[in-house]
Structure formats: C-alpha cells, structure tokens
Structure 1
Amino acid sequence: MPARALMFSGTGSDVGKSLMVAGLCRLLANRGIPVVPFKPQNMSNNAAVTADGGEIGRAQALQARAARVAPSVHMNPVLLKPESETGAQIVVQGRMIGSAKAREFQTKKRELLPAVLESFEHLRAEADFVLVEGAGSASEINLRKNDIANLGFARAAGVPVVLIGDIDRGGVIASLVGTERVLERDDAAMIRGFIVNKMRGDPALFADGMTAIAKMTGWAPLGLVPFFNDARKLPAEDALALRDLAKASKPGTNVKLRIAVPVLPRISNFDDLDPLRSEPGVAVAMIESGRPIPADVDLILLPGSKATIDDLAALRTEGWDIDIKAHVRRGGHVLGLCGGYQMLGKRITDAAGVEGPPRTVEGLGLLDVETEFETAKTLATVTGTLNVNAAPFQGYEMHVGRTVGPDTARPILTFADGRSDGATSPDGRVAGCYVHGIFSSDAARAAILSTFGVEASGTSYEAEVDDILDRFAEHLARHIAVDDLLSLAK
C-alpha cells in the first residue's frame, strides 16, 4: 500500500518548513513509523552527497537523518543551485542537466514535473508516510503557472497541505488569512490546516488569534509552536541564515582561536563551519560585504563556492585579497575548502566554460597549484585520515575541477583507498583541500584545533545534532495535535 503523504507549505521563506519536516520525521521515526522526507524543488547552494551517488539540498539530507534513513536523490528531485542573481544550475534526480535563467526556468518546470512525480512515487513505496516540504511562499500566484514546488505539486499528486506561518516576524494573521484570500479556490481547498511557528512569550495571548485564523480560513488549527532556540545549531538550509551567523561570533577573553570567514556571493556548504562554531574556545566571524577582515584573527577560512571564478572576483572587489595577503605576511594561517582551495592557487582555467565563458584567471597565489575545471562533477563520500597526526575523518567531495602543482606534494588528507587530497605551502601556514565535512569528525576537529593550541571540548558534534532533533521532536509533540495532523494525510 502506498505511503500516505502530507505537504507543509509556508507563508514565506524561513518560516520553519524545513525544520518542521525534520522534527516530524524524527517524531514518527521515534514512534517506529517508517517515514521519508520529500521536497519537489529546492533552491540552495548547501548540498549533500547521497547514498545513491547524486546530490540533494542539505535540508533534505538533515530530514533523512531525522527519519533515520539514507538520503536519496528522490528526496529532492529538482535542485536549483544559484550561479548568478538571475540564473541557476539545474540538478534533476541528483545529476546536473544544465543551467537556466530564472525566466527560462519558469517555462522549463512543466518538463520537470514527470521526474518530480516519479521520485515521489518511488518514495511512497518505501514508507508509511511521506512528509513533503514546499518552497518559499505558497501565495506566489505570479509563479503559479507550471508550479512544481508548492500547490502545483500538491494538486498534481493529490497531497493535502498544512500551511505554516511565522509569528516571530509579525503579521502572521494577515499572512495566513491573506494566503487563503489570494489563492485560486481549488488551490486553497488543498490546504486543510495551519500551524503558527516561533511563538515567544505566553501562548495564551494568541489563543484568540488561532481562533480568528481558523474562522476566516476554514482551516484546522493544528498547533502554536514556541520558539526552539537550539534550532540555530542545526545545519542551515540556505544563505538566509548567514545574516544571523554574521552576528554570532563570540567575543571575550575565553576565545582562543579567532576565525574569519568572508561571505562571498555564491558561498556554498557553509555548514562546514557549524562544528567549529560549537566549540566554546572558537569564535567564527562571518565577514559581510563592506567590512574588512579583522587584523587580529588567527585563521582566515575560505569556504566552498558555487561560482569560484566570480566569487574570486568579488573577493578582490571587497579588497579581501589584500587583507588575506597581509594576514599571511603577519604570520597568520589560511585554509581553503573546495572552491576556497581553488582560489588559493596561482590560476584557475575554465577552458570548457563550466562557470561561464571560457577563461583563465589569476588566483591569490598563496599555494603553488593550478586548477582546471572539468565537465564531470565529482560526487562521493570519503573516509580517511589527516596527514598531520592520522586522526580519522569522514566527509564528501562535491566539486568540478582538478588541482595540481608542487604544493600537492604536501597533502592534508589521505583517503582510505590511498589517494590524497589537498596542498600545503612550504611554511605550513596556507593549506586547502576539496573535502567537505571534515570538522564534523570529532577526532579530526580536535586534531586541527590542537595545531592552534586549542583543546577541543570533547563533545560529539554528530551526537549533539541527533540530541537536538530528538528534543525538537518532543517539543513538537507537546505543541502540535499530531494525531489530527496525521489524519489529514492522504
């Protein structure tokens, strides 16, 4: 018997859809109910490698973890990875099929619906429930034609919808009621209930608000969910979270390692930084546009990028290249991950036009390596050891390009199959590698921190993530009418 399904759409972005689905996946999994997550279309440069050799949005990987199942390309059949302000790379069922401008993609969506429905049916055969996450706002009627991300999918697949509103940002009554008012009648009829999320203060103060929304929309009030502060410690879905992270560095005398991370326009997989941020002796400062990189930091970390060449140009426009080189002259350290690693070399060649017109650009010249982009994309989970002290790590590769040169004779990592990855300058102060996720491995993180004289906390980052998911599931069970919610699934 195919799984029952329920979709969670929102009145806007960042209302908590991703986390709500993750929490409910863990809640059902903890009750012994087979459940899988699904998001028809996602837009994010935070991606994850799947067990079946493709890539999906990082949020769906977290939801799969919450459901205690392996991530699959079918959980996010259409992934858009922004390459510019108006264009994105298109990944379908885990594999890149090309790029399109935003206007072009609107007409292309109709062609992608069969793949979306195929993946949905694939998942329905594997569990008792499929919890579907919508994208952005359900009320974007200007994008309704050919929609595959919200109510267009819901109607095509016959999946009932629960609408989520965010009371913390204000105007939640108008947001929920306004959504019902602007939708076509058949679309509005797909929505069966609503949840008000991120409540601060006394929930009794909004009891009349819940009643008013239910009366004006005809939807079932399913829960008023208090703000869950530890949600900020979970991997973020997209760059919206960077606004908060830019304010989250830890000042004070107890900080032993200060890390600066330039926030580039196409920054990707910045959840690499989360385990470092969880260490009490480490301050990770996200440096936004218009700000110099502070002179008193110990380490500058260049993260991954979806558009390395363009982000390198943006880095120079900000003057951060000058800051980075001055930092090195003062004896500071620099670490590049994936795209950041490529930027540290002498030059980057894109003869095939992978990131735009064919071109060769000069890198920062801090590592004696060169990178050449290739059309084939490397997507793989990897394990191995750090070369500095043989600490074990596990992570993943997700990159286009091959990096060679004298400094690769001093790699950072050795894979379990004997291959090596990365490069280090002769003085040891500049290094880079392609592997994402190495800081999530407790032994590897502790080993890296020890090179800066910092003793790791000894806590398990992965165990902390699971603990937060369990506690959030309990939080939802206390504040959502779970049985009523599940009864809506079809």
Structure 2
Amino acid sequence: MSAAPTPPLPRALMIQGTGSNVGKSLLVAGLCRAARRRGLRVAPFKPQNMSNNAAVTADGGEIGRAQALQALASGLPASVHMNPVLLKPETDLGAQVVVQGKRLTTTRAADYQALKPRLLDAVLESFARIGDGRDLVIVEGAGSPAEVNLRAGDIANMGFARAAGVPVVLAGDIDRGGVIAQMVGTRAVIAPEDAAMIRGFLINRFRGDLRLFDDGYRLIEARTGWRGFGTLPWFPEAARLPAEDAVDITSGRRDGRIRIVCPMLSRIANFDDLDPLKLEPEVSLAMIPSGQPLPGDADLVILPGTKSTRGDLAFLRAQGWDIDLQAHVRRGGRVLGICGGYQMLGHDIADPHGIEGPPGSDAGLGLLDIRTEMTAEKRLVEVRGRHLASGLPVTGYEIHIGRTTGPDCARPLLEIAGHADGAQSSSGRIRGTYVHGLFGSDAFRAAFLREMGGGGSAISHGAVVEETLDALARHMEDHLDVAGLLALAEGPTAP
C-alpha cells in the first residue's frame, strides 16, 4: 500500500443487485460511458470481486476483467485501485486473495470471513485514490445485500456503502423471474440502517411489452418505499462485449465454416482470448461443458488458461477430453494452448513446492516436447511483440506462474521484448503460448484464420467494443432516468 496521503472520498453512486449475475457489471459500464458522454470525469470501482477472469493493469497488478471494461467505458487505463480485493477461486472451498493487485494470501471461505474487516482500510484507500480528480465514481456491488449471513465485516455491499457514505440503487433481473419478490424480500431482510442507504431501484433485462410490468413496478415502489429509475429492456448487443463469465461465451456464432471449440475447464481463467473470435462471421465458436465430448469436426481446439493447471489437467482427463484431443490431432486438427493450457500440452508439470496445491508432478498430454515447473514468482505484465511466422505485431498480457522449457521451445510462437515465447510442434499444428489476448490484434487474428482456410477478418475488435459501449449508453439513456441516477451521487456522509 502507498504511503502517500490518501485523498478525500469522492462523490459516488453504488449499483447493488438482488443477486449474482443480474447485470450489475454491464449497468456500471453503461453508466460510466453515459457519464463520460455527458462530459463528466468518471471512474468505476468494485470493492470486492470474485473471478478467475482477471485483467493485468499498467501498474503491474491484476483486477477483475469487468472493471477493465468499465475503465474502458470511462476512458481510463485500468488500475489496481478499481478493484482492490480480488478473490480467485482455487478450490471449491478456498481462494487466492489479491489486494491492490498483489497476492496477499490463500484462504478458505470460512477463514475469509475473519479476514474481511482487515481489508476495509485498503478498500477505502483505493476508493479515495480512484476518485481523486474525478467528478464521480460508479461503484459495483457483489452478490446481494440480502445475504445477511455474510453481513458481518462486509466490504462488498452495505458494509462498504455505509463506511464510505455512498447511496445505493438496487438492480433486479426480471428475465430470471421473481423480481418482485427479490426486491421486496431484500427490503424485508436487510437491517433498517442498510435499507436507508438504498435510494431507488431499477429493473434489468426485460423482454416484451413494458406496459405489462406497470403494476409490478408500482407494487415494488409501494412495498419498498424506493423510487423507481426505470425498466431496461434486454440489450442483445451485450454479446459483443468481453464476457465476464465463461458461460457467456456460448453466445458465439454457430454457422461459421471454421469450427473452434474450447473445453470449459473447472477453473478456467482469462478466457478473454475467445472474445474477438466469437465476433468473426467465419468462426463457429463453442464452449464444451463437462460431460460432452470434444466435437470430431473441430478445426481448432483451444486449451484455455486455468487457475489450477494440475487440477484442471485431472478434470480434463476425467471428461475423456485427452482421448478426444489425441483423436483430433490424428485427424490433422490444430491445438492452441494458452497459459495453463500451454503447460498441459507438455510431457509433465512439476510443482515441487506445492504452489498450486499438494507438491508433486503429473504427466501432461505429451503433444509438445516441453516440460513445466511451477515457480513462486508470478509474472504480471502487459506485452507487445510480434508473431514470428508472419512478422505481424501483437499485444496482450502475461499472468502466470511456472517456467516452461524443452526442444519445442526452439520453435517459439512469438517474440516479446527481445525474448522468445511459446513453442510449436514440428508440424506447426500444435502451439502454445503464455500470452493472453493475442486475438485482440486484428491483423494477427486475420492471418491466423487464413491459416485455417478463412478469408481473414475485416473486423476491428476494439472498434466493435467502443461502438457497443456507446450503444449501451444510448440504450440506458432511452429507458432509464440516467440524469436522476447520476444526480443521486453525493459526497461521503458520516458512516
């Protein structure tokens, strides 16, 4: 943590939800872009996030990828202070705790409850720093304030809102059903002091005739005493934005002539590599869930990043995907391993010091002549380089532990800052790299698709994301009282 004086707390508004995955991240991104389009200096903030889909920041840390998108919506570079506490699940019961971009510890869920109150100072410091010089900050909650069993020591929802004096608007997802009960039930179970922080509500993801919900909307107002800020219709263009959850990638096309598949590993991480591919008209992209085989007609299998390489290698074998991969390679199919997926492609993965789990070593898939040893040092860096075969520029980031060596590393895929990265088989059909985000480089992506018989790409992924953020802001302006929402933002009150 910085020793510099902490600025005063900024003007802010917080979007909390009636549950997880009600669209809070997208709502905050849209509000940030709407505020920016109004000429306001805005920044996003999420006190606590739980995600293995992290973004590397320019200041050498990591935050949730949703906050990186919100930073883009705000016209800002991503900063560790936008998401000061990031939980990265490693097992069903435990997670790595990242504070202000750096790993603090790994803890079990039950033990984290005792750790949370000690993190509030860091959260408030980051909140002040991210708002320094800004007109307002749009804050995203996590989960739901109705999880009153987790209220003690809370830093994600009402604990933060009350400590920082930030007014709250509660968002509900009508598409999943039960939104009236979610709203009224939240009002009923939270403490009166917490309920006093909520200044209104909005309804998200409505499909159909908005007039059909008029009575329900008025009932929520009457039962809660909260002001309604509108009902937001479904925004299908959200599929064009980077996905926060791996299951959201399934919105990719199904009619493209180049078939790319990606197995959904149990600890899949940093799958933003797939976002640009899902927009390509020539690409049919499918995420393969557990229990289903890898399709036999795939042109390319992408082995994605993972928070637990050895654990997900065992998961992959339990699905029979190792057998499917061998058959895919015998048919002449291509494989690209990224980060943890790259490590799996080798002969073995050694973790002598137990960095990712119990000490030991596991045999890899044997598709590349490489070996990996896990090391304590974590590499977190944005990178620029070139694709060696084509000479085309690439950008991306590295976020990994482990060192990979072996004969196939003599055929690297990339040159990054003067050093080689990755490995390729002698046939060139099996490739691996530690660099995430390569497909965001438009020229490289076009060349990569041409290798598989495509016509290349005329899409600018960055332009598509920017256009979609603008469209999202317009959509919110059309259907919500955005002016009223932004006017709620106020300076900190006494906690």
* Aligned counterpart, 1:474: 474
Shift of 1:455: 1.3
- 1:258 positional shift: 0.8
CA distance in 2, matches of 1:236, 1:274: 7
Provide the residue aligned with 1:398 in structure 2.
Answer: 399
Provide the C-alpha distance between the structure 1 equivalents of 2:100 and 2:192, rounded to a whole number of angstroms: 32
Partner of 2:245 in structure 1? Answer: 238
Aligned to 1:463: 463
Partner of 1:351: 352
Percent identity of paired positions between Structure 1 and Structure 2: 59
> C-alpha separation between the residues in 1 aligned to 2:295 and 2:132?
53
**Deviation of 1:214 (Å):** 1.0
- Partner letter of residue 388 of structure 1? A
* Equivalent position of 1:279 in the other structure: 280
What is the number of residues matched between the two proteins?
483
Q: Partners in 2 of 1:140 and 1:309 — Cα distance?
A: 33
1:224 corresponds to 2:231:
yes
Find the residue that maps to 1:97 and give its secondary structure: strand
List alignment gaps of at least 5 residues for structure 1: none
Secondary structure in structure 1 of the residue aligned to 2:15: strand
TM-score, length basis structure 1: 0.97
Query: Which amino acid is the alignment partner of residue 408 of structure 1?
Result: C
CA offsets 1:263-317 (integer angstroms, 9 cap, x no match): 1100011121011111111111111111111111111110000101100000011
Cα deviation, 1:236-287, whole Å, max 9, x if unaligned, reads 2234xx1x54475504xxx321111111100011121011111111111111
2-structure distance, mates of 1:330, 1:185:
64
SS in structure 2 at match of 1:445:
helix
Matched, 1:108 2:115: yes
Among residues 246, 250, 254, which one is paired with 1:250 in the alignment?
Answer: 254
Give 1:409's aligned residue: 410
Q: Is the 8 A contact 1:6 1:489 kept in 2?
A: yes
Match of 2:493? none
> Residues 22-72 of structure 1: CA distance to partner in whole angstroms, max 9, x if unpaired?
001011111210000000000000000111110000000000000001110
Alignment partners' CA distance in 2, 1:55 and 1:5: 23
Q: Could you tell me which residue of structure 1 aligns to residue 302 of structure 2?
A: 301
Superposition map of 1:40-51 within 5 A = 40-51=47-58
Q: Structure 1 residue 172 and structure 2 residue 204: aligned?
A: no
Partner Cα separation in structure 2 for residue 246 and residue 211 of structure 1: 35
Would you say the 8 A contact 1:45–1:238 is kept in 2?
A: no
What residue ranges of structure 2 are gaps of 5+ in the alignment?
A: 1-7, 491-495
Instruction: State the alpha-carbon separation in 1 of the partners of residues 220 and 402 from structure 2.
Output: 52
Q: What does residue 25 of structure 1 align with?
A: 32
- What secondary structure is seen at the aligned counterpart in 1 of 2:415? strand
Are positions 1:121 and 2:125 aligned together? no
Residue 201 of structure 1 and its aligned partner are, at CA, apart by 1.1
SS at match of 1:193: strand
| Paired residue secondary structure (2:214) | helix
Query: Could you tell me which amino acid in structure 1 is paired with residue 469 of structure 2?
Result: L
Runs of 4+, deviation exceeding 2 Å: 244-249
- On the 8 A contact 2:296/2:328 being kept in 1, the answer is yes
Amino acid at match of 1:63: Q
Correspondence for 2:11? 4
1:181-214 CA deviation, whole Å, 9 max, x = no partner?
A: 0101101111011010111111122122222111
Q: Does 1:83 align with 2:84?
A: no
1:429 has 2:429 as partner? yes
User: CA contact under 8 A between 2:249 and 2:275: conserved in structure 1?
Assistant: no
Q: Which amino acid in 2 is paired with 1:263?
A: M
CA distance in 1, matches of 2:239, 2:133: 31
Residue aligned with 1:60, SS: helix
What does 1:149-164 align with in structure 2 at a 5 Å threshold? 149-164=156-171
In 2, the alpha carbon distance for the partners of 1:115 and 1:180 equals 29
- Alignment-mate amino acid for residue 467 of structure 1: E
Per-residue Cα deviation, 1:324-372 (whole angstroms, up to 9, x for no partner): 0111112111110000000001111112211011111111011011111
TM-score under structure 2 normalisation?
A: 0.96
Counterpart of 1:449 in structure 2 is: 449
Contact 1:2 1:128 (8 Å CA) reproduced: no
Change (3 A) 1:318 1:247: farther
Whether the aligned pair in 1 keeps the contact of 2:9 and 2:127 (CA below 8 Å) is no
The one-letter code sitting in structure 1 at the alignment partner of 2:429 is R
Which AA in structure 2 matches 1:117?
L
> In 1, distance between residues paired with 2:55 and 2:470?
22
CA contact (8 A) 1:378 1:399 kept: yes
What is residue 135 of structure 1 aligned with on the other side?
A: 142
Q: Which amino acid aligns with 2:458?
A: G
- 2:21 aligned residue (14, 19, 43): 14
Q: CA deviation at 1:396?
A: 0.4
Letter in 2 for 1:278: L
CA–CA distance in structure 2, aligned partners of residues 334 and 483 of structure 1? 49
Whether the 8 Å contact between 1:38 and 1:76 is mirrored in structure 2 is yes
- One-letter amino acid matched to 1:163: L
Deviates more, 1:203-212 or 1:192-201: 203-212
Alignment of 1:181-200 (within 5 A): 181-200=188-207
Q: CA deviation at 1:124?
A: 2.2
Q: Quick one: which amino acid aligns to residue 93 of structure 1?
A: Q
- Which secondary structure state, in structure 2, belongs to the residue aligned with residue 138 of structure 1? coil
Which residue type is aligned with residue 235 of structure 2? Answer: F
Query: Do the aligned partners of 1:246 and 1:288 also contact (CA within 8 Å) in 2?
Result: no
Larger displacement relative to structure 2 (448-457 or 275-284): 448-457
- Please state how far the C-alpha of 1:2 moved relative to its aligned partner: 5.2
Whether the 8 Å contact between 2:206 and 2:231 is mirrored in structure 1 is yes
Alignment-mate amino acid for residue 41 of structure 1: Q
Describe the SS at the equivalent of 1:382.
Answer: strand
CA distance in 2, matches of 1:167, 1:400: 41
User: Residues 315-334 of structure 1 correspond to what in structure 2 (within 5 A)?
Assistant: 315-334=316-335
The residue type equivalent to 2:222 in the other structure is: K
